[in-house]
Amino acid sequence: MDTMLLSLFEDAIDEDLDGFDVGTIIKSTCLAMLAGGSDTTVVALAWTLSLLLNNSHVMQKAQEELDIQVGRNKLVDESHITNLIELLVATISLKVRVLFNLWKIQRDPTVWSEPDLFKPERFLTTHKGVDVKGNNFELIPFSSGRRICPGISSALVLLHLTLANVLHAFEITRPSDEPIAVTESL
């Protein structure tokens, strides 16, 4: 982000900004980046909570892990997250163009046993080294390469902290025995 802002500042020196000063342009760009990621973060949390509600045994495991790592009467903070989940750093080579079917890749039965089942424990055992930043293309929630989500780092921190605190602080149940509808929407 620092590089992008520096580039904006340098470009603004030589260009007409339609009456806006450089500071306003930079603030507007930062706000757009932060606001742009808020909807996707909310959607990710809604899907995750829906899947956890439909798989209460998985939610219970997550809550037990939080009790062990954090303690029952404490809030989860960023320092706890590193003890819960480890993410690897990945690099995509410069000028690589990739076109792919995300749905198919992320459900490849040669990579994932029972790909259509919600089994987050697989990321602690058989698929512990899976990279969400697009290095090996087995799971690509943030895209990859030049088009990777610029908010990946803040999204991961926000998702981890919010989900961990919600699971740790509340006992969440479905209103009835009917599964929560987990379908794609526009």
Annotated binding site for heme, which residues?
A: 149
Instruction: Work out the angle at residue 32's Cα, subtended by the Cα atoms of residues 78 and 152, and round it to the nearest 5 degrees.
Output: 35
Measured over the CA atoms of residue 131, residue 83, residue 71 and residue 159, the dihedral's sign is negative
Tokens (6 digits) for 186: 């526009």
Q: How far apart are CA 34 and CA 28, in angstroms?
A: 10
Helix (H) or strand (E) holding 4, with range, is helix 2-14
Annotated binding site: 149
